Structure 1
Amino acid sequence: MPRAVRPDRSINAEDYQHAPRPVAAMPKDYAPGEEIAPHSHRRAQLLYAVSGVMRITAEEMPAGQAAARPKGIWIVPPQRAVWIPSGCEHEVRMVGPVQMRTLYVEPDAAPGLPAQCRVIEVSGLLRELILALMDEPLDYAPDSRGAAVARLLLQELVAVEALPLHLPQPRDVRLQAVCRQIEARIGEELPLEDIARDAGMSSRTLARLFRRETGIGFQQWRQQARLAEALARLAAGQPVGIVATDLGYAGTAAFTAMFRRSLGTTPSRYFETRAPSPAARGRSR
């Protein structure tokens, strides 16, 4: 029979903020639609989705680096993870049931750890290291297997690259309303001129403000929003053809081409099941 995660593991995040070792691992499962209210941690963290999709809303910059920090949204599909720096306020919403495996990392545990939130591809090695640390005691000895796993984990985290699964959020209230409108009518090709008129500005002003506030163009933001919605629906088991139609694409081929440009592969390959090792099959808590 497969092993469950260690039965002595706490599912209270605060119990991990002053753990005796620089990297601590916590397993916890969540019900569909469950939410974690805005909060921050002393330690940085890596949230890994063994299954399910997470929607993270977080500050664009860690605490202390900007007086008024804008927020962004990161979509975390299954078998991917999101890195959240120390002191960064964030909230989490589960899309479907989520098996979450979290690493809490001391901010100075290794030079070069990411300073910004980012969604990352979890390689086979990184996945097995995350799950292996779940099976080690929190107070693993400095010369133990747990310490060796933690050291290699830190090297992998320094080297990871971000995935394009980020929706930067504007601070301007008019642009916030524009973003809500786009997400509410995600499958419609709303003309920029109509959206700008509803927001009380010219299309040129809207486009200029949008790029200044989010760092990307309006059309790119809309495509990112559609990609985020597609990932949530595909992870929930909706057929590619239905997702493509609902999101306004002319057909499956056009949707698949967009998906490949964004993520480097087709939807079916992206969601190929990677069997979790025994440590991932913990009991719901």
Structure 2
Amino acid sequence: MADELIDPTVFDPENAPVSIRAVLRRSSVMRETALHRHAPGQLIGTLTGSIRIETNAGKWVVPAIHAAWVPPHHDHAMSSNGPFQGWSVHIPPALCAGLPASPQTIAASDVLQAAITRVATWPNGPQNNAQHRLAQVIVDEIAMAQKVAFHLPAPGDARLQRIARQITIDLANNRTMAQWADWAGIAPRTLSRHFVTETGFTFQAWRQRARLLAALEMLASGMAVTTVALDLGYDNISAFIAAFKKTFGSTPGRYLDIQGL
């Protein structure tokens, strides 16, 4: 069984003082943390590798130089996609009032990462005015951070949930929407309408996003672009590259360069 992503012996958020706390973490193997919740808000970031955050509202993929924000009292589970290096920051509820009320993935600025690296050297959190001011920089950076499109929203309807689970299990399956509707015992029009209402995406766009988020994890693990494209059901690498660039703003090759992979 994989070790926990955030070791509770290093930092117990339920018993933490009312100040920002940060920890750095590096692992050469996969790490997991089961579904849980806590009073502080949590920012989880990666420097190398990638992690996945899952909540009832969906999942977020967090590639290198990005971070996921989880507000106070939100159930969430975490896992790393193989080896990773990253950090976690816990923020007391009193400091979360101006921060996003729902989970999201953000771009981690150089200022944010530098402040976290410094705060992580304080085993008992900030102890003086200067340190508290630096800790406040972390809060301000989260509030101002650019939201990025690494979220796959989960549908609420039980029939759509069955379809969504099956799609994520076999992303290369090119079954049509009508075929999925027949499989789940739902009218195609109803499936189409509910997918948009419950996730904000059409069925096709949702499946495309599921594939591309999986691509981020596969690329981070070292898989070749061509292998990723074919394993995800794309007819050719050009179609995959075009979809990747449209969603993430860069080609897979450029993405790998940015991540240092």
TM-score when normalising by structure 2: 0.88
Structural RMSD (CA): 2.1
Aligned residue in 1 for 2:43 = 46
Aligned residue in 2 for 1:204 = 189
Matched residues, number: 254
Aligned residue in 1 for 2:4 = none
Aligned residue in 2 for 1:87 = 73
Write the deviation string for residues 217-256 of structure 1: whole angstroms up to 9, x where unpaired: 1111101100111011000000111111222223333222
> CA shift at 1:84, angstroms?
0.2
Summarize the Cα distance change of 1:124–1:14 in structure 2 as closer, same or farther, 3 Å threshold: closer
CA distance in 2, matches of 1:111, 1:139: 20
Aligned residue in 2 for 1:76 = 62
Q: 1:261 aligns with which of 221, 231, 246?
A: 246
Summarize the Cα distance change of 1:72–1:149 in structure 2 as closer, same or farther, 3 Å threshold: same
Alpha carbons 2:52, 2:81 under 8 Å: kept: yes
1:51-130 superposed matches below 5 A: 51-59=48-56, 71-109=57-95, 111-130=97-116
TM-score when normalising by structure 1: 0.81
Aligned residue in 2 for 1:150 = 135
Summarize the Cα distance change of 1:264–1:92 in structure 2 as closer, same or farther, 3 Å threshold: same
> CA shift at 1:268, angstroms?
2.5
Aligned residue in 2 for 1:195 = 180
Other structure's SS at 2:191 match = helix
Alpha carbons 1:40, 1:88 under 8 Å: kept: yes
Aligned residue in 2 for 1:164 = 149
Other structure's SS at 1:161 match = coil
Other structure's SS at 1:126 match = helix
Which 5+ residue runs of structure 1 have no aligned equivalent? 1-9, 60-70, 276-285
Q: What amino acid sits opposite 1:123 in the alignment?
A: S
Other structure's SS at 1:163 match = coil
Which 5+ residue runs of structure 2 have no aligned equivalent? 1-6
Alpha carbons 2:159, 2:186 under 8 Å: kept: no
Alpha carbons 1:53, 1:75 under 8 Å: kept: yes
Summarize the Cα distance change of 1:209–1:109 in structure 2 as closer, same or farther, 3 Å threshold: same
Other structure's SS at 2:33 match = strand
Q: What amino acid sits opposite 1:94 in the alignment?
A: S
CA distance in 2, matches of 1:272, 1:82: 21
Write the deviation string for residues 100-129 of structure 1: whole angstroms up to 9, x where unpaired: 311000122165211110011112222222
Identity of aligned residues (%): 34
